[in-house]
């Protein structure tokens, strides 16, 4: 068994780059850090669960208390960007659906092919996918199990940006820098409202937005944002 870490973790400024580091298995599955990027080592982002493990009856080994790959049901407050540098299939697509922003290289592909093996996408694909793309398109992907190109995924709204082959991580870093240009308190509060508004009526969603505003406005960065605007200088965010 290799002693190489399954995940590598690199820090660059306020951005963490998390790399799934099992290319031989096709990547089956801090206050100063403001944004994280999740990518894969090798030509495949993630091919999902190891079918040999499933056949052996060890399905529970693929999940922990945070879901498949320790991610799909994890609650978090910081933005997570998927940098998809190749096929992201089955659980790989479900990992992508657990991220907030998706950047894909032109050679990337997506899909939930579980039906082709008489399985079901059980790590969020069947309910997260129709929240991100039209229901009839999600139905097509789930019932056919066919792979979907990066261009098609971009066209239906799953992918935020396309990059040339091998450039998904660089393009994701550009996204991260754009987010890090803003104060993290306001970023996290905005992200929370976008996620929690689902299922709320307009009055409830408005109240949720008002509370987020109060949180951001009352922070040290809230004061800095106003001061920088009035003084006509770039803001210096502290994350507090």
232's tokens: 């006509």
Percent of the chain with pLDDT over 90: 69
Q: Which fold has domain 7-180?
A: 2-enoyl-CoA Hydratase; Chain A, domain 1 (3.90.226)
- Between CA 130 and CA 104 the distance in angstroms is 19
Residue 78: is it exposed, middle or buried by C-beta count within 10 angstroms (0-12/13-18/19+)? middle
Mean of the per-residue pLDDT values for the chain? 87
pLDDT for 193: 98
Quick one: which of 74, 50, 48, 43 has its CA closest to 165?
A: 43
Do residues 32 and 239 lie in contact, with contact meaning Cβ atoms separated by under 8 Å?
Answer: yes
Report how far Cα 97 is from the mean position of its chain's Cα atoms: 6
pLDDT for 25: 47
Q: Is 204 a catalytic residue?
A: no
Do residues 93 and 111 lie in contact, with contact meaning Cβ atoms separated by under 8 Å?
Answer: yes
57's tokens: 């009856």
Over residues 119-137, the pLDDT tens digits come to 999 989 999 999 999 999 9
pLDDT tops 60 at residue 60: no
CA–CA–CA angle 230, 234, 235 (5° rounding): 80
Do residues 196 and 189 lie in contact, with contact meaning Cβ atoms separated by under 8 Å?
Answer: no
pLDDT for 76: 86
pLDDT for 53: 59
Strand partners, 63: 68
In the sheet with 148-149, reading across from the earlier edge strand, the strands are 87-89, 109-111, 148-149
Over residues 14-49, the pLDDT tens digits come to 988 888 765 554 444 467 889 999 998 777 888 766
- Between CA 61 and CA 3 the distance in angstroms is 19
Catalytic residue among 10, 114, 140, 196: 114
Torsions phi, psi of 115, nearest 5? -60, -25
Residue 45 gets which letter from DSSP? S
Question: If pLDDT is split at 50, 70 and 90, which confidence band does 72 have?
Answer: confident
Strand partners, 38: 18, 82
Catalytic residue among 32, 61, 94, 210: 94
Question: If pLDDT is split at 50, 70 and 90, which confidence band does 161 have?
Answer: very high
pLDDT tops 80 at residue 61: no
Q: Is 114 a catalytic residue?
A: yes
3-state DSSP helix/strand/coil % of the chain, to nearest 5? 40, 20, 40
Do residues 105 and 166 lie in contact, with contact meaning Cβ atoms separated by under 8 Å?
Answer: yes
pLDDT for 1: 42
pLDDT tops 50 at residue 223: yes
Helices 184-196 and 220-230 cross at an angle (nearest 10°) of 120
Contacts of 13 (CB under 8 A, 6+ apart): 180
Strand partners, 105: 163
Average pLDDT, stretch 205-223? 97
pTM of the model: 0.84
Domain boundaries, the chain: 7-180, 184-230
Average pLDDT, stretch 159-180? 96
């Amino acid at each position: 068994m290799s002693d190489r870490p399954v995940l590598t973790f690199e820090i660059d400024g306020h951005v963490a780059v998390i790399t799934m580091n099992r290319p031989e298995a096709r990547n089956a599955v801090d206050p100063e850090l403001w944004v994280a990027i999740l990518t894969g080592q090798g030509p495949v982002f993630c091919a999902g669960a190891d079918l040999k493990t499933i056949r052996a009856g060890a399905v529970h080994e693929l999940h922990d208390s945070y879901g498949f790959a320790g991610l799909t049901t994890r609650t978090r407050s910081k933005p997570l960007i998927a940098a998809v540098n190749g096929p992201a299939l089955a659980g790989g697509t479900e990992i992508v659906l657990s991220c907030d922003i998706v950047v894909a290289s032109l050679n990337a592909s997506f899909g939930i092919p579980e039906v082709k093996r008489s399985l079901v996408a059980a790590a969020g694909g069947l309910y997260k996918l129709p929240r991100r793309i039209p229901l009839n398109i999600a139905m097509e992907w789930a019932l056919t199990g066919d792979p979907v190109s990066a261009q098609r995924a971009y066209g239906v709204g799953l992918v935020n940006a396309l990059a040339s082959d091998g450039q998904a991580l660089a393009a994701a870093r550009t996204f991260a820098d754009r987010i890090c240009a803003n104060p993290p308190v306001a970023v996290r509060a905005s992200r929370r409202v976008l996620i929690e508004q689902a299922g709320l009526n307009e009055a409830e969603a408005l109240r949720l937005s008002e509370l987020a505003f109060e949180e951001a406005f009352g922070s040290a960065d809230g004061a800095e944002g106003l001061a920088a605007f009035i003084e006509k200088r770039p803001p210096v965010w502290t994350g507090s």
